[in-house]
Structure 1
Amino acid sequence: MEYLCLKSRNSQVIEMISITYILLGLVLLSLHAVECKPKTTPLDTIEFPALNCRKHSAVLTDFGGVGDGKTSNTKAFASAIDKLSGLASDGGAMLIVPPGKWLTGSFNLTSHFTLYIHKDAVLLGSQDESEWPNLPVLPSYGRGRDAPGGRLSSLIFGTNLTDIVVTGGNGTIDGQGAYWWEKFHKKKLDATRPYLIEIMYSNQIQISNLTLINSPSWNVHPIYSSDVIIQGLTILAPVDSPNTDGINPDSCTNTRIEDCYIVSGDDCIAVKSGWDQYGIKVGMPTQQLVIRRLTCISPDSATIALGSEMSGGIQDVRIEDITAINTESGVRIKTAVGRGAFVRDIHVRRMVMKTMKYVFWMTGAYGSHPDPGYDPKALPEIKGINYRDIVAENVTYSARLDGINNDPFTGICISNVTITLTEKPKKLQWNCTDVEGVTSNVTPPACDLLSKKKADECPFPEDRLPIEDVKLKSCSIASSITLF
């Protein structure tokens, strides 16, 4: 009996020990599982202004995105946006690009959609040309800009869309442009280089709060679109990089560009509307454009250029509170015989310029053409160009104003301008041909073709453009990223 009791007790002890080992094993397995399981780490709440807030959101890693700077994410972006496009009618969707380096080729946006680039995220433009689809030439240009053939799709591209927001917490888009600049200089391009952001045939567009660097060519190109807001962009490129224009509104209506800082190898902002006979045929002007609070550095180009591709017309442009530093010219008009159309009702005020080659520069002989088929009888109308309240220092030339023979630039008004010259200024400060207009309170005095008036200020519109009254909504979302 004692033996049976002892045996029973021993069995109980062995059973208890076995259970203990099993439990310990389960604990260890559980701990190991916890160590290997992906950790979900919350991001800070994302808050940002936008045209519209979205009901749904997702993170790029939900679709296989890898932010190591080496793995291509082109398919991940395409998969994410395709999936989220199905939510357009249900409050729209937002795709968050989380911290990391996200290598990608071109991808297309969708309507009622927000692409949000986190402040610690960098999009890297792929240098694999197979990841850049070839597109037809733009109808208002008739050919590619770098080569007669087609053009490569932009890094972020969209067409025929409504309600698109590309924004972030000042996240970065790096086009890794050196690869493309070298091909350009060596004349090895058979298609036009990609841009960073291009939106076509669309409306209700917002591009904001991003840093764009090293674009292969132009940085931001809205075209054939309306109701566009571009704000809070920092755009940087080496000052000797080819054609790295900052922002190019092209055949767009009702556009607002504000609070941007641009260092460029070309014009900081270039306003366009098509090239010669192709732009004339399409006939879509850029109009109702406001540009304000811009800082520009571009030693070989303009702060703001109107043209030279302006064959659909440019009208009703309001430019104010502009700073230009070490830049070739201020607000420059570029056109030529064959362009046709018009640049009219342009109003500029409150500019500060430091170290400039020209303060005022207009030319009617900007002679590049897409092909020999342009009409030499298509003369542009340049009329109603107003500048006021400008201070410039360390200037080489005050003005070079060259109209077109038998087609003078008319209605030029320049008032309340003070220019101080470099230590070695050009002797002829105002070089004027084929222009007509008036000046008031301008130092040094203007050319004789711009007659002097007393105490009159050049007009600036008192009404507001519709885009100026568009208010952004305050959006927020608490999201998360997955760390392995």
Structure 2
Amino acid sequence: MELQTSKRRSQILCLLVFGFLNLRRAECQFYPASRSLSYQSTNCRAYSVSLTDFGGIGDGVTSNTKAFAAAISNLSHYQHMGGGLLYVPPGRWVTGSFNLTSSLTIFLHRDAVILGSQNMNEWPLIDPLPSYGRGRDAPGGRYSSLIMGSNLTDVVITGDRGTIDGQGAMWWDKFRNDELKHTCGYLIEIMFSNLILISNLRLVNSPSWNVHPVYSSNVVVKGITILAPVTSTKTDGINPDSCTNVRIEDCYIVSGNDCIAIKSGWDKYGIDFGMPTKHVIIRRLTCISPDSATIALGSEMSGGIQDVRAEDITAINTQSAVRIKTAIGRGGFVKDIFAKGFTMHNMYYVFWMTGTYGQHADDHFDPNAIPIVHNINYRDMVAENVTIAGKLEGIEKGPFTGICISNVTMEMFESKKLPWNCTYIEGASTKVTPQPCSSLADQDPYASLCPYPADKLPIEYLELKECISYDV
């Protein structure tokens, strides 16, 4: 009885909204209460529509770009009335790039697959990122991302393990053959926004980076599986870029590039933009990436990276565990980095720091812009089948300082005369096997080194709500 009363109230409210906004009848349809879905969200939504209400056809052939745009435009009217949910039902939904709105949840059924269009005209060109000064991979503009938005508040992309497939092979081939005049689009990019949740989905075959929150805050990426061939190009998993308060947890990533890459702009453009990435927690991550890092800091780090915490990480058949990538001309800083509880199998490097990562946006970088790398703490790690324990290359004019490694055991894959290679670094170590280089002075094995922060980051206190929608 209570449910029926609530339903009648919703119907009356919907009719009132219809009269006020002159919306289509389809937008006020209600379905039996048995057709419901449950989901976690930053906020539960008051209104729900299905993609099919706006002409969506899930046959794997028909373009649904206009259907997505129409559905999201409709839901934008509900921003100040509890927000709206777009339900993507079972089917194969081809689409080009489309934009999100505030107070929006997109929910993919477990048998729903969003497919990136193979028509490049459905990925319009947009301006380069201001902190990069140009397209990341080519001068000038860049292709839109498949799912994108800017200047938004409270956006959720979730589902019951539904799939977003970028169909990236076309883009990888064009990039390898030098046929692209502009930078590839990403699978999901959200800019200048606050309160973002991306959860419980499969992301496969992205044209380039998979998840790119940029110039944003309060970002949660949770329960995501990311899959791309390990031979694919630039298919980074999750790239927080000039973001504050980020939580990445319970994700599984197989990639042709870094599983996590933390960034903040490129050379003088990142320095001038001046928006660091800070207060990031990464936990319970599994990574497979034979040619790249589990977690990379940089190479675009010119706006600064600070207070990154990583814990309970598994790396398998991966080039390196934690890699810092920077160079003269980058400027900026990487500091207060804390990592613990790593388990690693078949690694080429465990620790890798590079002060000579020489790619530049253009010829206008400042040769006197020396990056600062300081207070990098690693502890409580085990690794097997390791080729090189550590390759730590600082910068002569700006040594990397405060490097601390404690309670780490690495079983070498083969006999190495030089398991460590260290230049221009300063730090300390204790209980590390094989014994580190002399610049990481061995301390009293009973000393307490490399502390991991005991406090919680603000984003860790964000609790998701359990929501139910009956009208999809």
TM-score by length of 2: 0.92
Match of 2:4 in 1: none
Match of 2:117 in 1: 126
1:12-58 per-position Cα deviation (integer Å, ceiling 9, x unaligned): xxxxxxxxxxxxxxxxxxxxxxxxxxxx8987531111100000000
Please tell me whether residue 102 in structure 1 is matched to residue 93 in structure 2: yes
Match of 1:458 in 2: 450
Q: Which has the larger radius of gyration?
A: 1
Distance in structure 2 (CA, Å) of the matches to 1:168 and 1:94: 11
1:295-326 per-position Cα deviation (integer Å, ceiling 9, x unaligned): 00000000000000000000011110000000
Please tell me whether residue 220 in structure 1 is matched to residue 200 in structure 2: no
CA 1:442–1:87: 2 relative to 1, 3 Å:
same
Q: State the shift of 1:195 in Å.
A: 0.5
User: Secondary structure of 1:139's match?
Assistant: coil
Match of 2:72 in 1: 81
- Tell me if the contact between 1:230 and 1:258 (Cα under 8 Å) persists in the aligned partners: yes
Match of 2:462 in 1: 470
2:417 to 413, 427, 447: 427
- Tell me if the contact between 1:146 and 1:189 (Cα under 8 Å) persists in the aligned partners: no
Distance in structure 1 (CA, Å) of the matches to 2:106 and 2:233: 28
Q: State the shift of 1:478 in Å.
A: 2.5
Q: State the shift of 1:130 in Å.
A: 1.1
Distance in structure 2 (CA, Å) of the matches to 1:91 and 1:157: 21
Equivalent AA in structure 1 for residue 58 of structure 2: G
Equivalent AA in structure 2 for residue 439 of structure 1: S
Distance in structure 1 (CA, Å) of the matches to 2:373 and 2:211: 26
Distance in structure 1 (CA, Å) of the matches to 2:94 and 2:167: 10
Distance in structure 1 (CA, Å) of the matches to 2:91 and 2:417: 55
Match of 2:19 in 1: none
Please tell me whether residue 174 in structure 1 is matched to residue 165 in structure 2: yes
Distance in structure 2 (CA, Å) of the matches to 1:412 and 1:302: 19
1:360 to 323, 341, 351: 351
Q: State the shift of 1:457 in Å.
A: 2.9
Match of 2:428 in 1: 438
Q: Which moved more, 1:62-71 or 1:43-52?
A: 43-52
Q: Identity, % of aligned pairs?
A: 64
Distance in structure 2 (CA, Å) of the matches to 1:42 and 1:181: 45
- Tell me if the contact between 1:416 and 1:457 (Cα under 8 Å) persists in the aligned partners: no
User: Secondary structure of 1:211's match?
Assistant: strand
Match of 1:284 in 2: 275
Q: Which moved more, 1:426-435 or 1:386-395?
A: 426-435
Distance in structure 1 (CA, Å) of the matches to 2:159 and 2:271: 37
CA 1:334–1:68: 2 relative to 1, 3 Å:
same
1:265-288 per-position Cα deviation (integer Å, ceiling 9, x unaligned): 000000000000000000000000
User: Secondary structure of 1:468's match?
Assistant: helix
Structure 1 stretches of 5 or more lacking a match? 1-39
Equivalent AA in structure 1 for residue 223 of structure 2: G
Please tell me whether residue 338 in structure 1 is matched to residue 329 in structure 2: yes
- Tell me if the contact between 1:413 and 1:458 (Cα under 8 Å) persists in the aligned partners: yes
- Tell me if the contact between 1:395 and 1:425 (Cα under 8 Å) persists in the aligned partners: no
Total equivalences in the alignment: 440
Distance in structure 2 (CA, Å) of the matches to 1:268 and 1:42: 41
Equivalent AA in structure 2 for residue 328 of structure 1: Q
1:156-199 per-position Cα deviation (integer Å, ceiling 9, x unaligned): 00000000001111100000000001100110101111100000
Q: State the shift of 1:479 in Å.
A: 4.0
Runs of 4+ in 1 over 3 A off after TM superposition: 40-44
- Tell me if the contact between 1:275 and 1:339 (Cα under 8 Å) persists in the aligned partners: yes
Paired residues for 1:33-182 under 5 Å:
45-182=36-173
- Tell me if the contact between 2:370 and 2:397 (Cα under 8 Å) persists in the aligned partners: no
1:237 to 224, 228, 238: 228
TM-score by length of 1: 0.90
Q: State the shift of 1:425 in Å.
A: 4.0
User: Secondary structure of 2:78's match?
Assistant: coil
User: Secondary structure of 2:174's match?
Assistant: helix
